[in-house]
Structure 1
Amino acid sequence: MSIYVEQWHKYLRWMGIVLVIAVIIGLHAVWFYSFATTKFGEIRDGFLDLRQWDETSGDTLVLDGEWMFYPYSLIASEAAAKTVEAKPINVPGSWEAIIGSNFGYGSYRLTIRLDPDDKQTYAIYVPSVQSASQLYINGALAGSSGQPASKEADYRPYNVPYIAKAAADEHGMIDIVLEAANYIFQPNSGIELSLQFGEESVIVGRNSTSELMQQLVFTVFILHAVYAVHLYMMGIRKKQLLYLSLLLLIVLLTLAGNGSKLIYDWLPLSYEADFRLKGVLLALGGIVLLGLSVHSSAKRLLIIAKRALMVTGFILLCYSALRTGTVSFSTYIVFPLYVLSTLITSIIGIISSRSAPIYRNLYMLFLLTALFSTVVWEYVQLFAGISTIFYPLDLIIAMFCISSLMFKSYLNAVHENKQLADKLQQEDKLKDQFLANTSHELRNPLHGILNLSQTVLEREKSWLDERSVHNLELVQSIGRRMNTLLGDLLDLSRLKEGGIQLFRSSVNVHQVVEKTMESLKYLLHGKAIFMVNEVPAQLKHVHADENRLAQILFNLLHNSIKFTVQGTIAVRADVKEGMLQLSVIDTGVGIESAKLDYIFGSYQQISNQDAAIAASGFGLGLSISKQLVELHGSKLQVRSTVGEGSTFFFSLPFAEEGEQGSDDAGHGTQAVLSDAANSCADNGAATAAGVSAPAAPKRASDRVQHDRAKQAHHELAAEQCAAKEDYRINILAVDDEQINLQVLSNILSADHNIHLHCTTSPLEVLEKLADQSWDLIISDVMMPQMSGYALTGHIRETYDMNELPVLLLTARNQSLDVETGLLAGANDYIAKPVNAMELNARVRTLVRLKRSHRERMSMETAWLQAQIKPHFIVNTLNSIVALSTFDQDKMIELVNEFSEYLRASYNTYDTYKLISLKQELKLVRSYLSIQQKRFSGRLLVAWEVDEGIELMLPPLIVQSIVENAVTHGALSRSIGGNMSLTIQAQDQTVHFSIKDNGTGMSEQLIEAVLNGQNKNGTGIYNTNLRLRRHYRSGLSIKSKPDFGTEVAFNIPLY
């Protein structure tokens, strides 16, 4: 079976080569045809007639043909040489047949005749002249590369492409003289590649396109080379990645030295250095290619060829690095033959490979074939003298293959890592299971030891001597310690499985610490260590699992005892951010900073040289403590200095007042700590409930715009409270100095209606804007994260000065500072030090401003609610009377609808209150039914409403727009009209659309209605204001005179 598979793989490889070659040949043909140059006329005796050529065709002409050559004469720069006899020479081509050697110098000449009236600017592209040249147009120097000279001492070789502008003289003639010299390059001389002639924009554009494509391809090559090295450094230790990276760089630098020769823009290379670099790159590329493609398992003949070529490559590498002087013909030929030989050997090696996966062989074949095509194409152009635009497709194919190989290597590495990780997890699980089972088995004998020793101690204590009693007590302590270790093993297993639950209650921390220290005192025997409980006895209780808290403290204290030779171990309580922070502090050996990252891992032990004897146990205590602390919603952290000791600390929330135990004293230290926890002194406090922790910073602009709908609901809730009970004033204060916040708290706390929320972070202010309705922002001006001016500007992006007043506190009372604050959008300012009476007065003034704004909006809503127009009532009653004489059934229907409409319109619900969409639509239905009955067939209503939408919205939002669409829209025409109501749920919003085919409005009228400048559009103006107030977005009106109107808006779903 394997024979057939191998044959199939070989067949696939050959088919892949054939397919890639076919594709490459086809792409070359298409590319060459698309960017081909043309010939017009024939150059003879250095003359070309282009009078019949259409210069606007966009064609690029090649100036191939019979130029005139002046051997050993520089006719443009040396006037005396113009008498030298000229000889015809074919361009492109060497002057060896005329001079007898490729070393020497001379001048090429071509005269182009154009129409005398031709004022067009042309350009000549000179791709390659060996090995220095200067181009003169009508006697003026137009471009150069290097410095040609009659003496080798004055000669400077340099061969890069350049473009020269050309324009006909008054007789329509362009006289082209190209001076060239070569004293270094033996294989060739003079014009190597075809010169190109055409309109300046065409030549420049063609050259720019070629350079741009080269830069793009080279950039991608560099990125993939870096990516391959990065994969290797990340842990995918496969030498193929380094080979691929090196191969990419070699191909990049080699090709950058050809064509447009961009390498000269990157590196300050001389002509000789360029050839040395090319030689080194070609030799090294062959070595890398052989190492990548021919493996040690290849056939013997291939191994021999590989070794021979690699030895040859090293020889060429050394020769290129050390070579000086002229470039010989043999050197010029050897390198292409070497590269082609390595490519062919590599292709054969891939085809015959059996060890590598088929996908890798196929990609390598495609890669080598593409590189082979690139090399062949480069040398074909060079030897044939063809100058064309850069061809990138072979390199793109090669890049695709290399990318696929790297990506596949990455996927394989990920798969292997996953398999190893799964295996490690399985082994780790088996290990934990073994330890858990062992702990279970050891508990039985341990139970006997503890109980028997306890029985003996209680029964025989009066008969035993002091030493025996001490030994039995020691057995008890050691047994309890062993029980704790076994418990750790079980807890570790349960923690990994998520099987531990916390049973929280009100916990007296002082007592827990005291009991835990008592259980560990036996470990202090023989050590000069003092354990100190610095937790106040009357400390406010915490909300925690008492047993788990004792376990955490036990592990931390036991760890400190192990690694402390002498000194003090203390447990201290502090209040941080409204929570109790417990710290276990020792004066032990400390922990190196490099080890702090992994000490909380399972089975990890600190192995300091001074503590090697003390290190014992399983190394589970810190790991279990860390996970138990995290279950409490906190984080176990450590600070340590080698030789000075360590501090482990974590935080716990305080218990609610109702959870306090009977031993809660409520005075002394507890009162102090409770007050501290409930003040603004720690990182911005709220009320007596505790301190609100600063949130993680985000972008300020995102915070201001966050959850606008949520803020609208908070405002509505506050409005309802304001209407029903004593007014609650919510003030948010921000200052980077805690003492300043404490001052504000002391001043404003005298007013029981004021609820002050403090923070030290301006970014947190922007986050809290959507949490609830705020009546006032008090901000310091100078803060590190964001100034008060910037904070005010961000607030004003969403809230105007009436919606949310801002009071700035500043230590500077200069007029410029005040002006800056007011321009930023602040309502008022007050200078430090703050006067209590002034602060209270300004706060009250700004709060009344906010309340008056809210009351005004409320009054406008109530006014709109009362807008039942008298003529509508009178007309409806007249319709009822008229129907009573000939259609009593219809009259009864109209009376019922009118009754429903009046009941809904005069409903006494609070104007602050949100009503359901169904309530709003009930009023709309009644109104439309009355109007349809009154106007019979003149009013047609289309109703497209998703009845399943559950939405709360301010009252009379839809009804006022519908009434406007009927009165001023559909019924504005004498023949009547149509009105449609569409309500549809979208992603996170409900879309409302009310359309009519009435007389429509102009853009000016729409603007006047929305701005409140049109008296007839008061309802629309009020509705727009209410929508903007509640949802930060108003009405969208689209209308055109005589074509009707559409009014639309969106309300968020939440």
Structure 2
Amino acid sequence: MKLLKRKKWILLIITFLIAITSIRLVWMNFLTKFDYDNNPPVVNGVLDLQGMKLSNNQTLTLNGEWEFYPSVFLKPNQLASDSSKPKNKKLLLQTPNAWKHAFDKKSDSSNYFGTYRLRILLDDNTTQTLGLRIEKVKEASSVYVNGEHIGGIKQSEIESNPHLTNYNPYSMKFKPNHNEIEILIHASSDRKDGGIIKPIRFGSIEAINHRDILSIGLQLFLCVVFFLHSLYAIILYFIGPKPKKGLLYFSLLLICATFSVLVADDKLLYRLFTINFEWKIKIGYLTYIGVSAFIPSVINSLYPNHPYKKIVRFFSLYCILYSLFVLIAPSEYNMQAAKVLLSTALVSSIFISTIILRKAISKISDIIFPLLGCISIGVNLIWVMVISRLSFVGMPHYPFDLMIAILAFTIFWFKRFFRVSAEANELAERLQIEDKRKDEFLINTSHELRNPLHGIINIIQAILDDQGDPPNKNHSERLHILLNVSNRMSLMLNDLLDVTRLKEKMIRLHPKKVQLQAVVTGVLDMARLMVEGKPIYLHHTIDDTFPPVKADEKRLIQILFNLIHNAVKFTDEGTITIRASIINSMVKIEVEDTGIGISEKELNRVFLPYQQADTNEIRESGGFGLGLSLCKQLVELHGGILSAQSTKGKGSIFSFTIPLFDNSIEDVVKDPVTLHNEGIEQTAASINYVHQISNTNRSIAGKGIKILAVDDDVINLNVLIQILESEKYEITAVTSGTQAVAKLEHEQYDLVISDVMMPTISGYELTRIIRERYSIAELPVLLLTARTRAEDILSGFQVGANDYVRKPVDSMELKARVQALTQIKISIEERLQMESAWLQSQIQPHFLFNTLNSIAALGMTDTVKMQLLLEEFSDYLRLSFDFKNSEPVVSLEHELSLVRSYLYIEGERFGDRLKIEWEIDDNIDLTIPPLSIQPLVENAVKHGILKRASGGNICIQIKELAEYVEVSIIDDGIGMTENNLEQLFIRRNQSNTNSGVALQNINRRLKQLYGKGLNIHSTPGNGTIVSFRIPNKE
């Protein structure tokens, strides 16, 4: 199979070679009609044209034996006088050909010159204007006809500067004044291979011009073709979606090819610009080197996975070095080296390109066209080298090989373009089909879910409307709540269609009275968790009295969130501010950041779908560029306008407008807004079956687990209460984060359930405040959120939430999560209480032995004291192992009894070293955590007072103030350093002392019950004060 395919390619290439060779042969045959069929030769310096009529379409070549006088410039009519005849011997030189045989082979002169002489015999009646066409005379020439200078460089200039050059072809016209024409051509060169090396044409001036016009026209046409193709290639390179080096190399190849045409044959470039001979040579070689270098580069870009990369790189380096040599070396060395170096470059270029394309034949579609283009260029180079070696051949410029090459490359680029376009169209069609399938899936899913939901709504409505057997009041309330929740679920199902509806401009908004400040607060709390450690300050300047707006709350949240998220993404540090102002009947909301800003060019397209600013931040962070486009469409659906202003490096301002709620400005002027009260009143007025919730606690089913529910929506609170009341929880419902914080200041709860979007203090901010006082284990927080995107859920967990439940709430899920969180809370409390009891039960052995020794000693000296000490020791042991120590709180007297017994025992042991003071206010009715004072007293005695040899004083102070009772343990012992204070609350795995564990336990229990732990103030050498506060009973 491979062999058959290989034969097919070989056959195709051979056919192509035959075709382009045939085209050239046809061209050469076509040119013969511009030449005479029987061109008479020059014999012995004479061309006899007598009896021959000169045509206006055909020319003669003056090939044959010209008279040549070496090393002399004959003057016109010099041969007519015997006295002025040249001394040099006349030679008959075959022309065109180099004159190297006319000079001494041993001569090493750098200046060769001589005179060519030809006599043309015409009819007597010849009156037409005649012309001569000089193709190539190395290196300078001057033409005289019948003694008159008609073209080339004047003899005086050649004599004054033997190295003067005139390399350009040129034509001349003249009129014969009798039947014989004498043509003298002065030629000079610094090389032995100089002289007339291409045929000189003779004929009527019309025939000469006709041939010139044909040659020049073909060259200009080819240059225009090259230029146009180069132009579209460079345009495609810059405007394409991804710049392709192949297009750039192709454009440079064509530019070099254009210059190679302009410096060849008629040398059109040198007719436009005066350039010395040195640079003519350099420019000519550089253009051919450029063509040679860029052909493999183009092929390499088409098929970059070939195994010849090193060869391509080496060849590119060769071309660069050769170009430098051409620029530096004199023209003489360039011309000598060109025979090897330039030929090597041209042949290597075609060879390398061909072997690369041969490898790519089976891997790239349509690669045959570049291959044929390279073959065409190669064939053209072969013909150029052959014709340049044949001095007797001279013909107009042949453009078709290069045109075929460019055509082949162009066909390849266009076929690739159309193929890519077809693939893109096919892909677009497939994507449109998939997009329609996705839309159909969303529509079908929505309808499938809405049908049973509408059935539920209809059944509930039928029960409520049944006058014959109406439900009781309690059931009616629950059914109304269920109906309202079902309606909300119906709206959520409609949200599934938002993407499709937005695309088809069919999206439906549900505008209502929305408190802008509440929405902005919640969105900012979500956004604060997106900053990822950036030093960004997010805030708003919208106060509580700002009038409400008329908007779809969910869409408004979506708009603000996307704009703030965009600002965070473009801001590494600084400030993001949200402002709002009233303009006529609209509210203008601005999101301003101090980030990197967006350029004016990028700003014009940021609102287009799938468009993003071109920055490193964006490339790192990723994204699809849909956020701003979606915001723009949603704002416009609200009747507003989204716009942007930005200065590169200074930041951006995105602003949009939404309408005010009707008459809101006048309402605000007359009666300032109170956020949560107004919301309750509006909801209660519109939904008359929901009980109004006051600011007082709502307790369900008596004592038990206490839950604090926070939501500014009364219906949501009622739903929570209805779901959880069967579990016998004590539920306190409040309608704002501010009220929740106040409740937590004075009461203890086992769980907080909070909505995320609330005015003033959002659910995120409330959770953050709670975590400043309670750990995750001490007071769990369950968030309710309507947004379930990963970043929204992460926002809750990052501020310290234990769990979340998606709204609308599923009763089974809510009950399960509440039960799990409350059980964790209870387990933590029991562990703390057991830890407290365990600590007290760990009575150190040396304390027992010392106490028993003291009792034994008193038995021998003072039996009364022995009896008292024995009783106190018995009380100490009894109180230490009392089961009350495992309860949350005990009476103050119970705790003080344990302290008194302990201090009595230590007082008997240490005598005057331990002085005890009691400062306790009368009639204090207080319960405190068990084992909260005695371990502090023991710690003060052991580690403070008894560390001094002289002992010290300890004071137990209990003062009743207006809102709390303060308990203080004051000693004048050795005190502690700041480092010691820091080590006190290090966890058990880092410190293994019982005193450290006891202080940690007391501190955690106090914070759990009252929100505040121990306060410790100490100065080394001056003693320590340890205190805590217990709120008064209400």
TM-score normalised by length of structure 2: 0.48
Rg larger in 1 or in 2? 2
TM-score normalised by length of structure 1: 0.47
